[in-house]
Amino acid sequence: MELFTRMAQFDYEQVVFCYDDASGLRAVIAIHDTTLGPALGGCRMWTYASEEDAVVDALRLARGMTYKAAAAGLNLGGGKTVIMGDPRKDKSEALFRALGRYIHSLGGRYITAEDVGTTVQDMDLIHLETPYVCGISPSYGSSGNPSGMTALGVFRGIQASAKYLYGTDDLAGRRVAIQGLGSVGYELARLLRGAGADLLVADVNPLQVERAVNEFGAQALPPQDILSAECDILAPCALGAVLNDETIPRLRAQIIAGSANNQLAEERHGDMLHERGILYAPDYVINAGGLINVADELEGYHPDRARSKVERIYDIMLNLYKLSGERGIPTHRAADEMAMKRIETLRQVRSTHLGHHEPVRRGR
C-alpha cells in the first residue's frame, strides 16, 4: 500500500503508528480532518488479517468520523484508533495505558472513545494517562455507554424519514424490521414499540430474539430472511455492507434507517436504492447520537443537554431529504455534500488570523 498516496487521495492529516514491546501494543491512530475542531473517534480492537488491513480500516473509519461530526453540526473533526489484537485475550492495563500515552502526546488533536472490541472500562485505563478520552465511567462525570443515545438518534431519524415519506411521523401500526438486537438494536426496538410500531426482529443470538418476542410482542424471523421482509421500514443494526448487489433487489421496505455503520457495500449501492425509490437514511447521519453524546463531555457532561442535541437528528434528516429532493440526488450523496459544505465554509472562516490564541478545551 502506498500510504502517502492514499492519504493524499482523501486529504488525511496524520497517521501515527504506536508500538510498545512491554505491553504488546500495536495500534494505528488516523486523523483525517481537524478543520472544525479536534478529531474525535473511537478506539477499535480487532484481529486484523494484516497490518495493511488495520491501516486501511483506520483511514476509512477516520474519514467517516469527519463526515459524521460535520453532518451532526459538531465542532469536531474525524479520527480513529485501531488496535491489532484479540479483544477476548490480548487486553491488559499496560496496553491501554501505553495507548493513552500516545494519545496524550498528540496534545488534544485527537480524542478517543469506545468502539468495537473496547469498553468503558478500557477507556478508564486510557484516562489514567490522558484527559483526551470520552465515554469513561459515570463516576468520573462522564456519560458511560452511549448506546442508548445512539438508539434515540436512530429513532428520531426514523420518525423524520416517516414524516418525509408519509407526511406524518406517527409510527403507530408501521411495520419495522430490525436486523440485530445488540445494545443499540434492542433499545431501538423498545422505543419503536413504545411508539406503536409492529416489530419484526432477527439476531444470531436466539436469546435476544426470544426476549424481544416476549417483551415487545415482536415477530421473529430467521436472520437470512429479515432483509427481504415485507415492511414499511428496515432498520439494519448489525453488520455493515448489508446493502449490496444481492440484497437490494430483494428489499421490500420503503425506508431503510438503522444504526449499523457502512451499510452500503459500495457507493453505487446508494444510487441503486435511489433508483428503486427506497428512502435511505445515510448511516453516519442517523447513527450520530452516540458521538453527539460523548462530545457533550467536552463541555462537562449534562444528560439533558446531550439528549436535546441528539433529538436534533430529526431536523438534520429532514434537511438532508429536502436537499436530496431539490438536487435530485441520492440521499447518501446529499449527506456527503452537506458535510463537506460545512467543512469548506468553516475552513474559509478560520483562515482569518486572530492573533496568538490558545484553544480552550472545556473539560470535566
pLDDT score of 351: 61
Tell me if 105 is assigned to a ligand binding site.
Answer: no
Question: Which residues are marked as active site?
Answer: 80
User: Which CATH number is 3-59+79-140's, of 3.30.540.10, 3.40.50.300, 2.60.40.180, 3.40.50.10860?
Assistant: 3.40.50.10860
Q: Tell whether residue 185 is among the known ligand binding residues.
A: yes
3-59+79-140 and 147-343 share one CATH topology? yes
Determine the angle formed by the axes of helices 93-105 and 120-127, rounding to 10 degrees. Answer: 60
Whole-number Å distance between alpha carbons of 126 and 121 = 9
Question: Residue length, the chain?
Answer: 364
Q: What is the pLDDT of residue 299?
A: 87
pLDDT in tens, the chain (364 residues): 799 999 999 999 999 999 999 999 999 999 999 999 999 999 999 999 999 999 999 999 999 999 999 999 999 999 999 999 999 999 999 999 999 999 999 999 999 999 889 999 999 999 999 999 998 998 888 887 888 999 999 999 999 999 999 999 999 999 999 999 999 999 999 999 999 999 999 999 999 999 999 999 999 999 999 999 999 999 999 988 999 999 999 999 999 999 998 899 999 999 999 999 999 999 999 999 999 999 999 988 999 999 999 999 999 999 999 999 999 999 999 999 999 999 999 888 766 555 554 544 444 4
Between the alpha carbon of residue 262 and those of residues 59, 156, 222, 238, the distances in Å are 14, 19, 22, 10
Q: What is the pLDDT of residue 364?
A: 41
- Give the integer Cα–Cα distance in Å for 200 and 207: 15
- 77 among annotated binding-site residues: no
Q: Report the Cα–Cα distance between both ends of the chain, in Å, rounded.
A: 41
Q: Is 180 annotated as a binding residue?
A: yes
Q: Locate the domains of the chain by residue range.
A: 3-59+79-140, 147-343
Report pLDDT for 145.
81
For 147-343, the fitting CATH number among 3.40.50.720, 3.40.50.2300, 3.30.379.10, 1.25.40.340 is 3.40.50.720
Element spanning 162, H or E: helix 147-166
